[in-house]
Amino acid sequence: MDSEANTFLVLGATGGIGSELCRRLARDGANPVLAARDEGRLRELAGEIGASYHAVDATDGKGVDNLFSQVKEEHGTIAGAVNCVGSFLLKPSHMTSEEEFAHQISANLTTAFNTVKAAARHMPDGGSVVLLSSVAARVGLANHEAVAAAKAGVSGLALSAAASYVSRGLRFNVVSPGLVQTPMTENVTRSETARKASLDLHPLGRLGEPADIAAAIAYLLGPDSGWVTGQTIGVDGGLSTLRPPARRPAKA
């Protein structure tokens, strides 16, 4: 494939979803460029899939802008960019410190804004930008106030950016996952009680896998989604939209 036409910059590439996406893009013949803070993990993943990488803190707007500039210089054109950077906090608001709230905003919303701003500056010929939100921004889930606020901001950001840059053919969309089994969510998934409660919330009866989310992102990056922009796509096992019939009690 043409490297320039299939170069996709993935921020947060070493996370559970980001790494699965990079592997998928590489398998599909695309040219993923990996970006994250941990250079050691980046080097390992890049060596596994044969990709280039850059160490960057996505909360640093200037650093992200420089990253886009460098990738464009190295590869000619950036066809798409994805922000998989994020953080997850399960606490009610009265137990959330100012520092914890600020971290959720920085990791989830600031990184998304920095990605949007850099894409607008360095993707003048159009392309696809995909951000990650959360089902918690669409459904009221207890103890998710901080992350829900940050992720709701991501959806609003993408919607406005899609309108601002539509004339340039620059598309902005959001994938909104339910609970996905990644290292970031281990505090929930490793507890049998919490795991069962989470399973009961998802009508399809299972938790998400990184591959579920990577497939949706890959679609939004590819040509088949060329007429899709300004959308938030729920990949959440039906949690955001379905209310299945109550289970009948077992007979005595």
Q: Identify the pLDDT of residue 4.
A: 53
Q: Is the pLDDT of residue 34 over 80?
A: yes
Strand partners, 204: none
pLDDT greater at residue 252 or residue 187: 187
Q: Are 124 and 177 in contact, with CB atoms under 8 Å apart? A: no
- State the DSSP code for 183: G
Mean pLDDT of 135-142: 95
3-state helix, strand, coil in the chain (%, to 5): 50, 15, 35
Strand partners, 174: 131, 232
- What are the tens digits of pLDDT across the range 72-124? 999 999 999 999 999 999 999 999 999 999 999 999 999 999 999 999 999 99
pTM to 2 decimal places = 0.93
Mean pLDDT of 1-5: 52
CATH architecture of residue range(s) 4-234: 3-Layer(aba) Sandwich (3.40)
Residue 36, H or E segment: strand 31-36
Q: Is the pLDDT of residue 193 over 90?
A: no
Residue 80, H or E segment: strand 80-83
Q: Rounded distance, CA 196 to CA 178, Å?
A: 14
- What are the tens digits of pLDDT across the range 216-247? 999 999 999 999 999 999 999 999 999 887 66
Q: Are 184 and 16 in contact, with CB atoms under 8 Å apart? A: yes
Domains of the chain, by residue range, sit at 4-234
Predicted confidence band at 60 (pLDDT cuts at 50, 70, 90)?
very high
Q: Rounded distance, CA 180 to CA 178, Å?
A: 6
Predicted confidence band at 1 (pLDDT cuts at 50, 70, 90)?
very low
Q: Rounded distance, CA 103 to CA 164, Å?
A: 28
Per the prediction, the chain carries an average pLDDT of 94
Residue type, 8: F
Q: Are 198 and 157 in contact, with CB atoms under 8 Å apart? A: no
Predicted confidence band at 192 (pLDDT cuts at 50, 70, 90)?
confident
pLDDT greater at residue 2 or residue 104: 104
Q: Which spans in 76-144 are helix H?
A: 98-104, 111-122
Token pair recorded at residue 24: 């998928």
Q: Identify the pLDDT of residue 173.
A: 98
- What are the tens digits of pLDDT across the range 40-54? 999 999 999 999 999
